Amino acid sequence: MNYLIVGAGLFGSVFAYEVAQKGHNVSVVEKRAHIAGNIYTENIEGIQMHKYGAHIFHTSNKEVWDYVNQFAEFNRYTNSPIANYNGEIYNLPFNMNTFNKLWGVITPAEAQAKIDEQKAVLNGKRPSNLEEQAISLVGTDIYKKLIKDYTEKQWGRPCAELPAFIIKRLPVRMTYDNNYFNDKYQGIPIGGYTQIIEKMLDHPNIEVRLNTDFFEYKDELEGEADKIIYTGMIDQYFDYEFGRLEYRSLRFEHEVLDMPNYQGNAVVNYTDAENKFTRIIEHKHFEFGEQEKTIITKEYPADWKPGDEPYYPVNDQKNNELFKKYFKKAKEQEKVIFGGRLGMYKYYDMHMVIHEALNCVKRELAE
Ligand code: FAD
Ligand code: UDP
């Protein structure tokens, strides 16, 4: 078979590698000047810089963990971000350290009593949006200091208009445990993520064309391929025929600083409204770096307009309904498989993308 893969990100690269291993020919087109999509990391001053935002690998799926470990050695990094609310520092995710600092409570029962007291404002209503969900999980103080402004900066709309599931990504723990994730396996690939994708695509059956936008050469490329794996925006594939899906974009401001340690942690969230960025990443701490310099990145959320990078799908009801129309049409395409964060319009993390890509290959090769 001749496969054409649109997008050299994680989804496209796993698919490419797996079918190439089975002897098929693969051609990958990528519109950026580099492979690896949003997990791209670049060596600057001996530090692996996560060019498109902090990427921490975490999963409870052993198959996915073993799979990704074939391509890199992972370190023991555990994500424990801190929040800076107008100079007050709190541990994340919301756990006994957070509750103790905020309320002086010592035991889980005291913390729970405080949350129960504060969530009474909901009068027992079942949460139907992010604001209500947050208050019901952690009460009004944490909602105000650690969630409301951060979330409204991130998504550009009031919490009461956002889907509840977004906040359910974060654990709430009645233990003194600052691990941001509940997953069994977690770490950062020593030497960065780009090597993983390089190893996948460095295969005699795979040809990669960078700086190549699929839509510029669509007819020609489609003609050459028996099957297409498309990991770009699903609405763009169908020329926006049902209307445009919404995305959220980001602007990254990278700085090299002449000091060894800027903030003492890889991730510091700014949960206030005044700072327009949501977080500052200090990349060296992902790999316990001891370089003389440091690199930081400020992450500014931004409205998305055509031509901008679509970092996040906006999975609210309106957009999910619209996606369903595109998905129905996608299913009818015999020659095209849609995958990844943009192809499926889903807030997928890396482990989910690998899982989906491996399943997709299994289905494809079984046919
Ligand atoms: P992408 O990486 O977006 O790859 C798609 C590729 O297709 C891109 O390279 C794009 O340029 C290319 N493309 C699109 N259209 C065309 C076209 N027309 N022609 C040619 N090429 C095209 N996940 C985690 O597990 N942990 C984290 O900590 C984490 N942090 C994140 C932080 C941020 C800021 C963001 C945005 C995401 C984060 N993720 C994280 C999610 C992770 O980035 C994704 O799960 C993963 O990168 C998705 O891979 P993909 O192949 O679906 O998409
Ligand atoms: N969030 C928050 N305060 C924080 C961190 C996260 O309110 O300090 C909320 C915010 O709505 C965010 C969601 O939790 O969109 C999910 O956070 P996560 O860190 O998983 O976001 P991502 O890394 O995907 O941007």
* Residue corresponding to tokens 């015999």: 334
pLDDT band at 169 (very low <50, low <70, confident <90, very high): confident
* CB atoms near residue 71 (< 10 Å): 17
Per the document, the length of the chain is 367
- Please determine, for residue 15, whether its predicted confidence score (pLDDT) is greater than 80: yes
pLDDT digits (tens, 9 = 90+) for 61-96: 999 999 999 999 999 999 999 999 999 999 999 999
Name the domain count of the chain. 2
**Which residue range is the domain that position 157 belongs to?**
86-167
Tell me which of 115, 138, 167 is where a domain ends: 167
In a domain, 276, yes or no: no
In a domain, 293, yes or no: no
In a domain, 303, yes or no: no
Q: Which residues line ligand 1 (CB under 6 A)?
A: 6-12, 29-32, 37-39, 52-57, 213-215, 231-232, 250, 311, 340-342, 348-351, 353
312 is catalytic: no
Around 204, how many Cα atoms within 13 Å sit in the side-chain half-sphere?
Answer: 2
Domain identity same for 51 and 103: no
In percent, how much of the chain has pLDDT > 90?
A: 98
Domain identity same for 323 and 236: yes
CB–CB of 359/327 below 8 Å? Answer: no
Rounded to whole angstroms, how far apart are CA atoms 358 and 349?
14
pTM (2 d.p.): 0.96
In a domain, 291, yes or no: no
CB–CB of 29/212 below 8 Å? Answer: yes
The string over 236-263, giving b where at least 16 C-beta atoms fall within 10 Å of a residue's C-beta and e elsewhere, is bbeeeebeebbbbbbebeeeeeeeeebe
Tell me which of 136, 167, 198 is where a domain ends: 167
Q: Mean per-residue pLDDT for 168-172?
A: 92
User: Which atom of ligand 2 is nearest the CA belonging to 92?
Assistant: 8
